[in-house]
Amino acid sequence: MTDPILFAGIDEPALNTIEVYRRRGGYEMLRKALTTMTREEVLDELQASGLRGRGGAGFPTGKKISFIPAAQIDKYLVCNADESEPGTFKDRELMQKSPHMLIEGIVIGAFAAGANRSFIYIRGEYVEQADIIDAALLEAEAAGYLGENILGSGFNVSLVLHRGAGAYICGEETGLLDSLEGKRGNPRLKPPFPANQGLYQGPTLINNVETLATIPHIIRMGGAEYAKIGTDSSAGTKLVSVSGNVQRPGNYEVELGTPSREIIYGLAGGPPEGRRVKFWFPGGSSAPVLLEEDLDLPYDFNTLAEAGSMLGSGAIIVVDDSVPVVDVALKLAKFYKHESCGKCTPCREGTRWTVSMLERVDAGLATPMDLDIMASVQEQIIGNCLCVLGDAMAMPIGSMVAKFRDEFEAHIETARARNPWGDAAPEPPPPLVQGAVGA
Amino acid sequence: MIGRRKKRATEPARDAVLVPAVERAPDGAAVRAPEREDPLHPQRTVPRFGHGSRVPGWDDAVDLTKDPSEIPDPATTPVDPQLRAEIEAHMAKYPDYRSASIPALAAAQRHHGWCSPEAIEQAACVMRLTPGYLVSVASFYDMLETRPVGRHAVYVCTNISCSLCGADTLMQRIKEETAGDPDFNVRAFECLGACDIAPMVSVEGVYVGPVALDDVPKLVAQVKDGVPPLPNKQLRLRKSSDPGAARAVPGTVPTAGTPHPYGGEMPGQAPGPPAAIEYPPPEVDS
């Protein structure tokens, strides 16, 4: 196992203050980047590092920055700290314990993108973390790492902390931009992508907290050196949030390509005594589930994609064999139904009907044919909306129905035996409105 | 006319359709068909309002002669100076002042307890926006309350990781403990991003967990008394669970106390953070 990069000495007391951070060599990479390197050199290092976005999509960061046009117009950098994917809590720990690492990364990222205004969009529930970042911003500004003519380089950037107010959809990049503009957080049609037309219609670079916090380390190590960590397609280390039915839930920094079993059993202690892993979400609740036999897969972007799932935000949720799969599916579907913003019909209606169908399964009113209908609803959501919230429900639910079809059918049978209607099909409910009101 | 429905007199005949079919016994007396419980539709007669709709106020025709509500007039809308200053400070931070709508609504909510029509009107007055625009924003976000709520916000995470660790029972227990207390705003919330301390509760922004069922009476009492909730279970005191975090990388990240070539005096006057991250004393009696 390699040494941690982001989590090295993260528990040092008062690391959230600028004194301790500077004593550890903090902000020196900002000095190096701004005073000895050009924008292109920074970009080259990031591209050489092979860093891929840590928020969910896994898009190469260097490439994303290179999409920002070089023209002399207002450009923006937005740090996505709206960590709302169920099971993910890595950014929370980073922001809470080492906010200056994030600020340093944002300023270097803004330098590479040529952005003069930057924002951190933090979710409203993270009150303590936002207060810590607020204090860190004041310190960094007073020390001259933010604002005008940073470290005498002539580069200006401002950084504003924006607190959200609780909406999962604001973690989606265009929903976040709308929310940051003071509107309802509805996603936008893409293209144009934010790199061309984002915040206030200007070119905007949006990156996750972990991605930006890695940038100072890439400058320190050099892109080529960073690329040596991990696998060929997935360079570097990744913060993995392990939660659910494990003995030691928490954030672990692992080298990409580490076997998943080592993360779940070695670091997180595996499921409680006497239980087995039934299935696990490799990348937050939006990722299709994997089974116990997939535990030996290396944990990296490409392998998980080949296995039919995704690395996503790096949140592993372990479900052990004591939990019925229908319960998990219903919980998930209700979450996505609640959080669907309602802009696109397939997602708004699909999430609602999926919940209704799962409730039928649970109430003993369903037949195995309902599972086919449910699977077809999932298929019709995928790819038909402006953003991937609908897909994020459709993919895990679809994979659960596919992989645990026997259990769903058995659940349907036991629930039918339980319900007072017996085997008889329920009468259709009486007409509610037709004929009654219009008469 | 679009958007307008004719107002009808209440029709008593409507209810007759919803009454189950009537059977006749041999002696001619009416016998109601045996009611069967439909698990998904336990109440088969849909509750309706007096005007026959399931939506309150559906038939209250929109007054089309009235103009939509405009930006409130500062002369007739008194705003607390403190609230005004807070909203204006937020507006000054962004290139477009409308970006401040969420912080402004949050500030108004702190002042008024919820996003009441009055609070929204005051925020709209300061921001020079219509109240309708701010209502559209306030109704979108979970943390902006569009109904009066208790002042102690207790969010219980009931999403998947927490519910695997028993959050649903915890939610029920907290609801029982605070039942009937109007000061409490207990809500089942979506993933709060603290699955490592599942099942967890956010008490006015302070994350605590894992919360055992036995902790609930103590937690509720502490919230009532306004003291920090469960001091030894707060998230900010938790150390990283990664064993690698304790190992510092030699040469790259100097540990505390190591002299550093660049570690000179800080330029400028930097105010310190509100409090350093501390660790709990070994024994805390809470």
> Which of 75-104 (A) contact B at CB < 8 A?
83-89, 91-93, 96-97
- The predicted pLDDT at position A58 comes to 87
Give the rounded distance of the alpha carbon of A27 from its chain centre. Answer: 27
Q: Is the pLDDT of residue B286 over 60?
A: no
Is the ipTM beyond the 0.95 threshold?
Answer: no
| Pairwise CA distance, residues A290 & A309, whole Å | 7
Contact status, residue A256 vs residue A237, Cβ threshold 8 Å: yes
Q: What is the pLDDT of residues A354-382, one digit of tens each?
A: 999 999 998 888 888 999 999 999 999 99
Mean pLDDT of A299-309: 93
* Position B254 confidence tier, pLDDT thresholds 50, 70, 90: very low
CA torsion, ordered B13, B14, B16, B21, to nearest 10 deg: 140
Q: How is chain A split among helix, strand and coil, in percent rounded to 5?
A: 45, 15, 40
Whether B14 shows a pLDDT value over 70: the answer reads no
Give the model's pLDDT for residue A328. 94
- Classify residue B49 by its DSSP letter: -
Helix (H) or strand (E) run with residue A163 in it = strand A158-163
Q: Please give the share of chain A, as a percent, with pLDDT higher than 70.
A: 95
- Contact call for B260 and A84, based on CB within 8 A: no
Overall size of chain B counted in residues: 286
What's the rounded Cα separation, in Å, for the pair A209 and A89?
11
pLDDT of B1 above 80: no
DSSP letters for B87-152:
HHHHHHTSSSGGGGHHHHHHHHHHHHSS--HHHHHHHHHHHT--HHHHHHHHTT-TTS-SS---SE
Please name the residues in contact with A25: beta carbons below 8 A apart, sequence gap of 6 or more: B252, B253, B254, B260, B262
Q: Which residue has the higher pLDDT, A422 or B224?
A: B224
Closest among B232, B106, B286 to A166, alpha carbons compared: B106
Q: Tens of pLDDT along A204-263?
A: 999 999 999 999 999 999 999 999 999 988 999 999 999 999 999 999 999 999 999 999
Q: Which of A393, A439, A157, A437 is nearest to A284 (CA)?
A: A393
Average pLDDT score over chain A: 91
Which of A243, A248, A281 should be substituted to probe chain B, the one whose Cβ sees the most B Cβ atoms within 10 Å? Answer: A243
Q: Is B11 on the interface with A (CB under 8 A)?
A: yes
**Of the candidates A288, A376, A389, A405, which has an alpha carbon nearest to the alpha carbon of residue A347?**
A389
The single-letter DSSP state of residue B197 is G
What average pLDDT does this structure show over B264-275? 48
Question: What distance in Å separates residue A247's CA from the closest CA in chain B?
Answer: 10
Q: Taking residues B103-115, report their average pLDDT.
A: 95
- Give per-residue pLDDT as tens, A392-416: 999 999 999 999 999 999 999 998 8
Question: Which tops the pLDDT comparison, B259 or B97?
Answer: B97
Contacting residues of B for A20, CB less than 8 Å apart: 256
Which is it for strands B30-32 and B184-189: parallel, antiparallel or unpaired?
unpaired
The per-residue b/e assignment along A214-236, b for 16 or more CB within 10 angstroms, e otherwise, is bbbbbbbbebeebbebbbeebbb
Which pLDDT score, from 0 to 100, does residue B56 have?
62
Percent of chain A with pLDDT over 90: 83
- Report the pLDDT value the prediction gives residue B251, as an integer from 0 to 100: 43
pLDDT at site B253: 44
Confidence of residue B240 (pLDDT cuts 50, 70, 90): confident
Average pLDDT, chain B: 77
Closest chain A residue to B242 measured between Cα atoms? A252
Selected residue of B91, B133, B140 to mutate for chain A interface (largest A Cβ count, 10 A): B140
pLDDT of residue B247: 64
Residue A8 contacts residue B239 (beta carbons within 8 Å)? no
> How many Å is the Cα radius of gyration of chain A?
24
A25 contacts B254? CB cut-off 8 A: yes
Q: What is the pTM of this model?
A: 0.83
Answer whether A77's CB lies under 8 Å from A109's CB: yes
Question: Coil, strand, or helix at residue A104?
Answer: helix
